[in-house]
Chains A and B, each alone.
Chain A
Amino acid sequence: MTTDRPKKTTFIQGAISSEFIGNSIAKHQSKTTIGAHNIFLGQVRADGIDGKTIAAIEYSAYEEMAEQSFYEIREAAFAKYNLTCMHIYHSLGSVKTGEICLFVFVSAPRRKVVFEAIEFLVEEIKQKVPIFGKEIFEDQTYTWKKNT
Chain B
Amino acid sequence: MEITVKYFGIIADITQKNEEVFSIDENLNTLKKMQLKLEVNYPKLLVIKYSIAVNKKFLQNDILLEKYDEIALLPPFAGG
Partners in one complex: yes
Chain B 1-22: CB-based contact to A (< 8 A → 1; otherwise 0): 0000010111001000000000
Asked if residues B80 and A101 are in contact (CB atoms below 8 Å), the reply is yes
Inside 8 A of B74's CB, which chain A residues have their CB? 62, 130
Inside 8 A of A60's CB, which chain B residues have their CB? 8-9
Closest to B18 in A: A60
Chain B 56-80: CB-based contact to A (< 8 A → 1; otherwise 0): 1000000000000000101111111
A20 contacts partner chain B, Cβ-Cβ < 8 Å: no
B38 contacts partner chain A, Cβ-Cβ < 8 Å: no
Asked if residues A125 and B56 are in contact (CB atoms below 8 Å), the reply is no
* Minimum Cβ distance to chain B for residue A82 (Å): 25
B53 contacts partner chain A, Cβ-Cβ < 8 Å: yes
A18 contacts partner chain B, Cβ-Cβ < 8 Å: no
Number of A residues near B (Cβ < 8 Å) is 27
The complex places the Cα of A90 from the Cα of B78 at a distance, in Å, of 11
Partner of B79 from the list A68, A134, A144, A147 (CB cut-off 8 Å) is A147
Inside 8 A of A57's CB, which chain B residues have their CB? 78
A62-B72, A130-B74, A144-B75 known; A122+B8 contact, CB < 8 A: no
A115 contacts partner chain B, Cβ-Cβ < 8 Å: no
A68-B56, A130-B74 known; A62+B79 contact, CB < 8 A: no
Partner of A65 from the list B9, B72, B79 (CB cut-off 8 Å) is B72
The complex places the Cα of A95 from the Cα of B6 at a distance, in Å, of 24
Asked if residues A132 and B75 are in contact (CB atoms below 8 Å), the reply is yes
Closest to A69 in B: B56
Partner of A145 from the list B53, B56, B78 (CB cut-off 8 Å) is B78
Partner of A42 from the list B8, B53, B56, B80 (CB cut-off 8 Å) is B80
Asked if residues B72 and A133 are in contact (CB atoms below 8 Å), the reply is no
Question: A residues touching B (Cβ–Cβ < 8 Å)?
Answer: 42, 57, 59-62, 64-65, 68, 90, 101-102, 122, 125-134, 144-147
* Closest 3 pairs between A and B when the two form their complex, measured CB to CB: A132-B9, A131-B79, A133-B78
